[in-house]
Amino acid sequence: MTASDIFITVNGRGQRARIDYPGQSLLSLLRDSLGLTGTKNACEQGECGSCSVMFDGKLACACLVLAADCDNSSVETIESGPRDDELCIVQRAFHETGAVQCGFCTPGLVMAVRDLISRSRGTEIEDATIREAISGNLCRCTGYGRVLVAARFAIEQSR
């Protein structure tokens, strides 16, 4: 099978992208073809959450989405958000509360918290809800305590 092109909107910018092989994942397309390396490649099985992105408005593991299924779709990565080197509220919360250690899981955790905040506008968010929202993200360094503090801080800042 030969390479094909799709039209995809990534971080608000519509563009043509080339799919290099039939089984290419959205993760590979983002990192290898589009140069967006903030989305991390770890397990490639949808288990760790490091490659979490917003795919057509829903949180998804980019390693499990076929690039060919992204034609006329919208994707938001960790690189989306404020411009001019500003951090988004969630990124700033992770930084200010010390929730970042090695940083490998951080993009996926940030995307999960951003998704939680956008889905929960105007409602009270319990700690159990935060835990559930980040449950698809594995971290070997933090023990999640600081991640929960960062999520709570970001939720309070977003109000």
Tens of pLDDT, residue by residue, the chain (159 residues): 457 999 999 999 999 999 999 999 999 999 999 999 999 999 999 999 999 999 999 999 999 999 999 999 999 999 997 765 667 999 999 999 999 988 899 999 999 999 999 999 878 999 999 999 999 999 988 789 999 999 999 999 988
Which range marks the domain in which residue 28 is found?
A: 4-76
How deeply is 85 buried, as exposed, middle or buried, from its count of CB atoms within 10 A (0-12, 13-18, 19+)? exposed
| 49 and 112, same domain (yes or no) | no
Same domain, 68 and 93: no
What residue has token string 């996926």? 108
Those residues whose C-beta lies under 8 Å from the C-beta of residue 135, and which sit 6 or more positions away, are none
pLDDT of residue 128: 97
Does residue 84 sit within a domain? no
Confidence at residue 87, expressed as pLDDT on a 0 to 100 scale: 78
Q: What pLDDT, on a 0 to 100 scale, did the predictor assign at position 121?
A: 82
Q: Are residues 10 and 63 in the same domain?
A: yes
One domain for residues 32 and 95: no
Integer-rounded Cα Rg, in Å, for the chain is: 16
Domain co-membership, 110 together with 150: yes
Q: Is the pTM of this model over 0.85?
A: yes
In a domain? residue 83: no
pLDDT at 83: 63
Query: Is the residue at 82 inside a domain?
Result: no
* Last residue in a domain, options 21, 45, 76: 76
Flag whether 81 is in a domain. no
